[in-house]
Amino acid sequence: MPAPPLRVAVLISGRGSNLQALIAAQRSGEVAIDIVVVASNRPAAEGLHHAAAAGIATLALDPGHMPASDRARYDAELFGRIAAFTPDLIVLAGFMRVLDAAVLAPWAGRIINVHPSLLPKYPGLHTHRRALEAGDRVHGASVHFVSAELDAGPLLACTEIALKPSDTADTLAARLLPREHALLCRCVQWIADGRVQLRGNTVHFDETPLSEPLRV
């Protein structure tokens, strides 16, 4: 009897283009997952509408109802609500918050993030502009396991594109996005298939520790 699909929670803050890629991959059977909830820190996030249209439960928790000094309590409340959906994996797909270490601890090895740079280069924001300003010849996106440090958890995989002399931050972002979608879907499928585990701070793929991220 086949194993049930991997239960996935997706966290977003904006339009949810990576979320839409995951929804399409789930519907087509390309990725053996069941997206059980889409959560956001922004009730107006466009991606919530895409989730609802696909029949997926949504959750919006605005941090504005708590003092800025109480970030840890907000994170604990958000993750407590997500946990009620019993996900096997949490995917941060454009979720624009640094999460509290105590909240992340129970999810170690079960929470990943997709980031639009070749980490460890350019953690944080404005990655495309920073790559252009640095004169890089290659840019890309990365999927990593989430730690308390910003965009610094163990790397699973990346995808690369060559920069063009004519590139702007906008054109570079547009060219990279389809590759980013494919990267995330591939990584989630590997996890669903049981091919990826995080042991300590080392990612294992097919029982072999990775010395560098996989290329997609």
Is 6-215 in CATH node 3.40.50.170?
yes
pLDDT score at 68 = 67
Q: What is the mean pLDDT of the chain?
A: 96
Q: What angle do CA 26, 46, 150 make, to 5 degrees?
A: 80
Give the CA radius of gyration of the chain. Answer: 17
Q: Mention every residue, 6+ apart, whose C-beta is less than 8 A from residue 64.
A: none
**pLDDT tens track for 187-211:** 999 999 999 999 999 999 999 999 9
Q: Rounded distance, CA 48 to CA 172, Å? A: 26
Q: Rounded distance, CA 32 to CA 14, Å? A: 25
Residue type, 205: F
**pLDDT tens track for 56-71:** 999 999 998 777 678 8
Task: Of 127, 76, 133, 82, give the one whose Cα is nearest residue 105.
Answer: 76
List active site positions: 115
Residue type, 161: I
pLDDT band at 1 (very low <50, low <70, confident <90, very high): low
Residue type, 162: A
